[in-house]
Amino acid sequence: MRRRASAYLSVFLGVVLASTYAGLIATRPPLDRTAERWIEQTRKKLTLDEKIGQLIVPSFESAYLSTDSETFDELSRLVREYHVGGFHVFGASIAAPPVLLNPSYGTVILGQPFSAASLVNRLQALSSVPLLNTADFEAGVGFRISGATVFPRQMAMGAIAGDAAARLVREEARITAVEARAIGVHVNFAPLADVNNNPRNPVINTRSYGEDPGRVATLVAAYVAGARDEGLIATVKHFPGHGDTDVDSHLGLPVIRFDRTRLNQIELVPFQRGIAAGVEAVMAAHVELPSLDATPSTPATFSRPILHDLLRRELRFDGLLYTDSMSMDAITNMVPPDEAAVRAVVAGADQVLHSPDPAAAFTGLKAAVAGGRVSEARLNEAVGRILRAKASLGLHEQRTVDLDRVPVKVGGRAHQAVAVEAFMRSITLIKDERRCVPLRLPRETPVLYLSVLDYPSGWQIAAPGRTFIPELRKRYPQVTAVELSDRTPLSELDVVRATAPRYGAIVAAVFVRANSGSGRLDLSPELVRLLRDLGRSTAGTNTPFVTTFFGNPYVAAAIPEAPAVLLTYDFYDLAEASAVRAITGEASISGRLPIGLPGMFPVGHGLDR
């Protein structure tokens, strides 16, 4: 009886939520007659092969690429023979060729804006239908492309107090749109609408705005609006929610076992708000949800009950529906590329993203259409949405970008100023038991700086501490810098313990990633023990001891003895520079926790300085 009542309640809540948001859904501006005519004429003249190709989005890297090269020949073949609908733009790689169908095997570095724009233009010139290009610019175009603007991770944006968060998120999205369109990218796979309420989530973590569904929803809507301001298609992901998983879908298939009532109350809320705000694209998650689809080993990517019945019918979303990368292990370990593409399209996906074998995806879809597994109506439905998206961006009239405008549009001081404000406002002081923040020390005070790393490899575009150390030395010239990691011998940790009392202050910067592919989330036990020991040993002397956590904020809960704790939720230059300014009192601190720290502080906690 309880089960039946719970089921009725779930259905009732779903109907209520759907009807509530249905009246709030932002209407898209109608296309003009020229655009509508182009859509209809293009649809009619497309061959079967050309229609199938529109559903496939392979990738390229934005490193310099000669037109006279095997790599460019392969890209040309994807355009001319397989009629792909667009390309996904990655950064670059120093461990693999410029076209990398599965970049997890390479060491990814930043690409170049001119290289990306030039390659986009050359491929656009080859295509009979304008290409709709995508990218993962979750933290701005500078997240992938050198010289462009880098913004804080979403969790840092979620830590910004009050109405400033929505204002800065909207401005971030607007600037990202300007820079993305300048290099020929039209669809950004951001923002994440995932609610990160699992501290052990190894793949979402700081990529989420936080754990409060309402707050996440507000910022998702702000991002969608900002992207639309400058003609970029935003994408809410990973539907119907990837925030409460403890398995990285790059490595395996996560399972979310909550019932529909819980999903309505938490996971679905930001997606509904994004749809209400008029978002034009949604990305499906490689996550299994038995309460929505009881078919065993069926991720949302392959689930018609989730993608069609829930997203299309209940939530009334009629925009583009992308798969997540089909090169992720959650999919590749399950089925080959041809079958994966077919299952996704049958379920309701419009575009198959980053297949490990785009040619096989094409062949599989063609066979499925011939055999009736993918109906002509399903194919035409997807093609119609893709063409409408292209026309809405004006690609039927202008598909290439002006290379002379790239340095005018990408990067610059005005864009950087917004990013700097966002980084600074996100800094969160959660503890200051000795009132040592900001540091009030004579300039000649000897300071021990500890750069504490989860592990030393894989930092890609920057070395932890490369900005923190010189910035700290500008204020306190007598800084002794020591780098520690899980590879540091115990004898060296003992030396740090023994010498720490000689210094007038200790500043620790802790760098811990929640890394796709690594599955690691913590500091080694020896490093945790060292920081806890330093917290205890300095308590009697009242020596200033300030610890700043970069990246995974949940690690702070493992070191309750740390007397002063700041969180940045991010890495690299601007985060490190902002942390030093906060510690030394050169900028105010106003951030608030967007997530709860188990056993320590609730959502919304933070100290002002």
564 φψ region: left (φ > 0), alpha (ψ -120 to 50), beta (else)? beta
Question: How many CB atoms sit inside 10 A of residue 477's CB?
Answer: 12
Tokens matching residue 155: 């969790």
Cα 266 from Cα 272, distance rounded (Å): 11
Continuous segment of H or E residues that includes residue 449: strand 447-453
> Count H helices, E strands: the chain?
21, 17
Contacts of 101 (CB under 8 A, 6+ apart): 58, 59, 327, 354, 355, 356, 357, 358
The reply to whether 250 belongs to the active site is yes
Handedness of CA 341, 346, 349, 350 (dihedral sign): positive
Give the CA distances from residue 523 to residues 4, 244, 508, 513, in Å, rounded to whole numbers and listed in that order.
46, 22, 13, 9
Cα 230 from Cα 568, distance rounded (Å): 29
Which segments of 133-267 does DSSP mark as H helices, in order? 154-159, 164-182, 213-229, 260-265
Give the CA distances from residue 237 to residues 283, 297, 321, 324, in Å, rounded to whole numbers and listed in that order.
5, 20, 10, 9
Give the CA distances from residue 420 to residues 144, 517, 579, in Å, rounded to whole numbers and listed in that order.
18, 30, 11
Cα 523 from Cα 547, distance rounded (Å): 14
Residue ranges with strand state E in 463-524:
479-484, 505-512
List the one residue out of 444, 559, 449, 476 whose CA is nearest residue 512: 559
Tokens matching residue 308: 């069609």
Tokens matching residue 577: 């520079």
**The one catalytic residue among 83, 238, 242, 250:** 250
Phi and psi for 288 in degrees, rounded to 5? -90, 130
**The one catalytic residue among 324, 350, 454, 570:** 324
CA 23 to chain centre: 29
Burial 401-434 (b: 16+ CB within 10 A, else e): beeeebeebbbbeebeebbbbbbbbbbbbbbbee
Which is it for strands 479-484 and 447-453: parallel, antiparallel or unpaired? parallel
Cα 345 from Cα 359, distance rounded (Å): 16
Contacts of 474 (CB under 8 A, 6+ apart): none
Question: What's the chain's Rg over C-alpha atoms?
Answer: 25
DSSP state letter for 541? T
Q: Which residues are catalytic?
A: 250, 324
